[in-house]
Amino acid sequence: MDTFAITNGTRGTLPRVPFLVMKEKILGKRYSLSLVFIGTSRMRRLNATYRKKDMPTDILSFPLSKTEGEMFINRNVADTKAKDFGLSTMHYFSYIFIHGCLHLKGMEHGRTMEKEEDSWCRVFTIPTSTR
């Protein structure tokens, strides 16, 4: 069984981010992760269904077990947010991927998660101007 799969469900090209290296450092080599890039309407439906928010978001993470999970990224929302924060596409996608991985580890929004995000951003040399 593969421990990492990326699916591009959009017409766009994928960002050049070392997702596999990041996944292995944060979640471990044995953690099985499916990363799917999806369009805005599908992301809106997922966000409405699972978070009761009728709007698209940049990323959603779903832990399936302690060693397996899924992550969905919406390229359109993420591109817009990267510009809003003054970050390169690569840096913003790296940041949200870290954010999603921490949710898969069971972390919730708050100071502890922010400290952990900052720590991983330093490891991968990603600016932290997302707050």
131 domain residue, yes or no? no
53 domain residue, yes or no? yes
129 domain residue, yes or no? no
128 domain residue, yes or no? no
**What DSSP string runs through 37-62?**
EE-HHHHHHHHHHHH---S--SEEEE
Residue 12 pLDDT greater than 90, yes or no: no
Residue-level pLDDT at 122: 94
Tokens 């991983």 found at: 120
Amino acid identity of residue 88, one-letter, is S
The total domain count for the chain is: 1
66 domain residue, yes or no? yes
- The pLDDT tens digits for 52-89 are 999 999 999 999 999 999 999 999 999 999 999 999 99
The rounded distance, in Å, linking the Cα atoms of 90 and 73 is 13
Q: Residue 21 belongs to what domain range? A: 4-123
Query: Domain containing 14 — which CATH number?
Result: 3.40.390.30
Residue 131 pLDDT greater than 80, yes or no: no
82 domain residue, yes or no? yes
Bridge partners (DSSP) listed for residue 123: none
- The pLDDT tens digits for 22-63 are 999 999 999 999 999 999 999 999 999 999 999 999 999 999
Q: DSSP state, 67?
A: T
18 domain residue, yes or no? yes
Residue-level pLDDT at 1: 52
130 domain residue, yes or no? no
